[in-house]
């Protein structure tokens, strides 16, 4: 395996990791959307599939810029040396998706499953927020302005997706999961109103990690 000798190498490594992560998410999202019963959640997951495909395309753009920049400096580039340009599988995302599938395979009430799908999706989002936040900071440090701009666009989308999932959980899905199998009966005579909290603990933690 090639040695990472500088921050530029680490950025390229991070981009490769994110690329694999996006590929795995594109593969996993249709099954997650199929398993969801909440209409808004189903719609959100389908929409995120479209956004994720665009994010993967942006990473292609980043890789192209980095390759061009390397060849102009007479360097074949770390990616070529390390992976022959073919990339490697992101084990972090593989683990998160595997864990999410394991939970979805459990026998659950549909409303509880919806809450579990949101939890899995937010774990995925937080991984991406951390990865894109790091890569963006490296690009800034290296003076790669176009790369920084592209990564910032995706980072913003990941924050928006996380916020939307949080709102969906706190305003609707968690309440239905709390009621569980009594959900349908309770929906006919709603007695308790959802009290939205400010933000999830994990969300604020990930914000801190990504704030660079
Ligand atoms: Fe993404």
Task: Encode pLDDT of 161-210 as tens digits.
Answer: 999 999 999 998 999 999 987 755 555 555 455 555 454 444 444 454 44
Scanning 36-77, the segments in alpha helix (DSSP H) are 39-72
Which residues, including other chains, have CB under 8 Å from residue 13's CB and lie 6 or more apart? 4, 78, 82
Domains contained in the chain, CATH given: 7-188 (1.20.1260.10)
**Average pLDDT of the chain to the nearest whole number:** 86
Least confident among 89-93, 99-103, 200-204: 200-204
> Does residue 45 carry a pLDDT above 50?
yes
**In angstroms, what is the span from residue 53 Cα to ligand 1's centroid?**
8
Alpha-carbon gap, residue 177 to 3, rounded angstroms:
49
Q: Using CA atoms, how far apart are residues 131 and 134, in angstroms rounded to an integer?
A: 5
pLDDT number for residue 76: 57
Surface-to-core class of residue 19, CB atoms within 10 Å of its CB (0-12 exposed, 13-18 middle, 19+ buried) = buried
- Could you tell me the pLDDT band of residue 153, with boundaries at 50, 70 and 90? very high
Q: Tell whether the model's pLDDT for residue 24 goes beyond 70.
A: yes
Q: Are 10 and 141 in contact (CB under 8 A)?
A: no
Distance 111 CA to ligand 1 centre (A): 25
- Between CA 159 and CA 21 the distance in angstroms is 16
Cα–Cα dist 49/175, whole Å: 26
Is residue 135's pLDDT more than 70?
yes
Ligand 1 centre and the CA of 196: distance in Å?
A: 26
Cα 140 to middle of ligand 1, angstroms: 20
Q: Could you give the CA distance from residue 150 to residue 61 in angstroms, rounded to a whole number? A: 8
Ion ligand 1 contact residues with beta carbon within 5 A = 52, 55, 128
Question: How many angstroms separate the CA atoms of 205 and 190, rounded?
Answer: 33
| Ligand 1 centroid from CA 52, angstroms | 5
Per-residue confidence (pLDDT) for residue 108, from 0 to 100: 92
Give, rounded to a whole angstrom, the gap between the first and last alpha carbons of the chain. 29
Q: What does the pLDDT read at residue 69?
A: 81
77 CB-near residues (< 8 Å, 6+ apart): 12, 66, 67, 70, 71
The pLDDT value given to residue 182: 72
H-helix segments, 91-109: 91-104
Query: Average pLDDT, stretch 30-34?
Result: 95
Lowest mean pLDDT among 4-8, 90-94, 123-127, 188-192: 188-192
What does the pLDDT average to over 130-150? 98
Minimum mean pLDDT among 103-117, 140-154, 186-200: which range?
A: 186-200
Q: Which long-range contacts link 43-46 to residues 24+ away (Cβ below 8 Å)?
A: 44/161, 44/164, 44/165, 44/168, 45/117, 45/121
* 110 pLDDT more than 90: yes
Ligand 1 mean position, distance from CA 48 (Å):
8
Residues 16-20, mean pLDDT to the nearest whole number: 97
What is the C-alpha separation between 166 and 189, in angstroms, rounded?
Answer: 25
CA of 143 to the centre of ligand 1 (A): 24
Question: Which helix H or strand E contains 11, and what residues bound it?
Answer: helix 7-35
């Amino acid at each position: 395996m090639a040695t990472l000798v500088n921050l530029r190498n680490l950025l390229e490594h991070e981009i490769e990791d994110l690329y694999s992560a996006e590929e795995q998410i594109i593969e996993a999202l249709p099954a997650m959307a199929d398993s969801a019963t909440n209409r808004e959640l189903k719609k959100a997951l389908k929409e995120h599939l479209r956004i994720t495909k665009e994010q993967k395309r942006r990473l292609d753009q980043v890789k192209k810029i980095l390759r061009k920049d390397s060849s102009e400096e007479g360097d074949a580039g770390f990616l070529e040396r390390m992976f022959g340009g073919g990339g490697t599988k992101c084990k972090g995302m593989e683990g998160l998706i595997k864990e999410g599938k394991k939970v979805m395979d459990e026998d659950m009430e549909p409303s509880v499953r919806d809450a579990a799908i949101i939890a899995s999706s937010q774990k995925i989002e937080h991984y991406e927020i951390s990865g894109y936040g790091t890569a963006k900071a490296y690009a800034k440090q290296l003076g790669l302005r176009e790369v920084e701009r592209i990564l910032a666009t995706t980072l913003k989308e990941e924050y928006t997706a996380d916020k939307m999932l949080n709102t969906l959980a706190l305003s609707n899905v968690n309440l239905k999961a709390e009621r569980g199998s009594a959900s349908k009966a309770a929906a006919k005579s709603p007695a308790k109103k959802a009290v939205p909290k400010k933000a999830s603990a994990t969300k604020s933690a990930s914000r801190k990690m990504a704030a660079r």
